Structures are given as structure tokens and as C-alpha cells.
Amino acid sequence: MRSSDWIPVYEAIVHEFGYDRTGDERVRDRLAALTTPFDHDRLPRFDGATVAVCGAAPNLTEDLPRASAADVVVAASTAADTCLDHGVTVDCMVTDLDKNPETAVELTRTGTPVAAHAHGDNLPLVEAYVPRMAAEWTLPTTQVEPVGPVENFGGFTDGDRAAFLADHFGADRLVFPGWEFDDPSVGPAKRRKLAWAERLLYWLERHRGERFGVLDGRRAGIDTSALPLE
């Protein structure tokens, strides 16, 4: 997914949530100043692989056998902790640093790539934790136009960004342990974000010509009006 394809969808998200694009750009620029270009060869081998994109829903623990069976595990946010606590190797973490930044720091220091994301609300976290992360294992990302070392592979939440990243680097098949779009434990704002994650995964599966099991039984109810599906 090219960033130029992503930006119109990002603009629809900004409009719905009332986000400040200049805030995203400001934090992106700060992240760019704190990081160096990432060597993509440090990523796990996505090409031709079955990739488990692990979400942080409560059902992840019971879903971990699917993660263990995959060739590559990409964990979103606190899904990394659940995987590690149960002996499942995390090959890459995707995070905006808002819940478990110490895990991101530790993973980079032990040679696991972490895609650290900049958005308008996380400047203090970027400034506090990115300098502590091992630079060579830190992949800086943004949801606006890429600048310097900061890249944009598409996606909005940690989970769907992980899926877009795996797609960008050639994953053959994506599976989704630990995903629950109707998670009753989240508040209204998070539910709106999960609705967008669902839309974005639908867009991604159309782009890939793949059917994601996590969307089975849900496709007919997905609002696709803001998606460039043609």
C-alpha cells in the first residue's frame, strides 16, 4: 500500500474524529529528528510467510496457538506482552507507545524490530521513550506524509497498521489471533477506532485478493463509503 493511496483515507479519518493534521505532522517531525533510517533487512522475512497479526483483545490468550503456528508474529501494543508471557516469540511489535512503552524499549535492545508510531497525541511518549530504544531496531512510522527516516505503510490503529506493514513487505497470508471488533471492555472512542480498523482490514483484503477470517460474517455490515475500492 503506497502512502499516496493511504492519505485520502487518512483524511476521512481526520474528518470523522476531528483530529488536527498539523499535530500529526509535528510529532512526525520530532520522531524524524530522534531516529535514523531503518534497514528493512532487520525485519523478519515476510515474503511468502504466514503472518499472525496479534491483536490485544481479551481472547488473545486462547488464540495463541494460531500465533505459534504462523511463520512470523507481529504483535500490536500489549499483545506483545501476552505473547511473550506465554512463550510465543514476537518477531516485530507495532505501537504508538501509549500502553507498554517499556516493552518496546526492551524488544529493541534485544534485537527485535519495533515500529514506533507518531501521532498528534503522543509527543511526550515519543520524546521519553524513542531515545531509549535501540536506534537500529526502531522503525519510525507516521499516518501522514513520510519525512526523512519516518515511513508510512498505511493503517490507523496499532493492529491494522501491523497488517498493512506485513502486507507491504510481502506476507503471503495474514491471520488475526486476538482480534475482537465487538470487545465489550472498550469505551465509545475505542469502539469507533475498532470500526475503522474493521473497514481498513476490509480494504486491505480487497487490495490483496485475500479473505481474512476475522471478517467472516461481518462484511455486509461494514461501512465502505470512505474507502477507495474501485
> CA 189: distance to chain centroid?
18
- The answer as to whether 106 is a domain residue is yes
Q: How confident is the model at residue 219 (pLDDT cuts 50, 70, 90)?
A: very high
d(CA 161, CA 152): 9
- The answer as to whether 208 is a domain residue is yes
- The answer as to whether 210 is a domain residue is yes
d(CA 73, CA 138): 17
Q: How confident is the model at residue 227 (pLDDT cuts 50, 70, 90)?
A: very high
- The mean predicted confidence, pLDDT, of the chain is 96
Total of domains in the chain:
1
How many CB atoms lie under 10 A from the CB of residue 205? 18
- The answer as to whether 227 is a domain residue is no
Tens-digit pLDDT profile for residues 28-57: 999 999 999 999 999 999 999 999 999 999
- The answer as to whether 93 is a domain residue is yes
How many CB atoms lie under 10 A from the CB of residue 143? 27
- The answer as to whether 228 is a domain residue is no
- The answer as to whether 226 is a domain residue is no
- The answer as to whether 186 is a domain residue is yes
Domain that holds residue 93: 3-221
For residues 173, 38, 119 and 194, what is the CA-based torsion angle, rounded to 10 degrees? 10
- 176 in Cβ contact with 213 (< 8 Å): yes
User: Is this prediction's pTM over 0.95?
Assistant: yes
Tens-digit pLDDT profile for residues 119-158: 999 999 999 999 999 999 999 999 999 999 999 999 999 9
Say what the pLDDT of residue 160 is: 98
Tell me which residue of 139, 125, 160 sits closest to 10, measured CA to CA.
Answer: 160
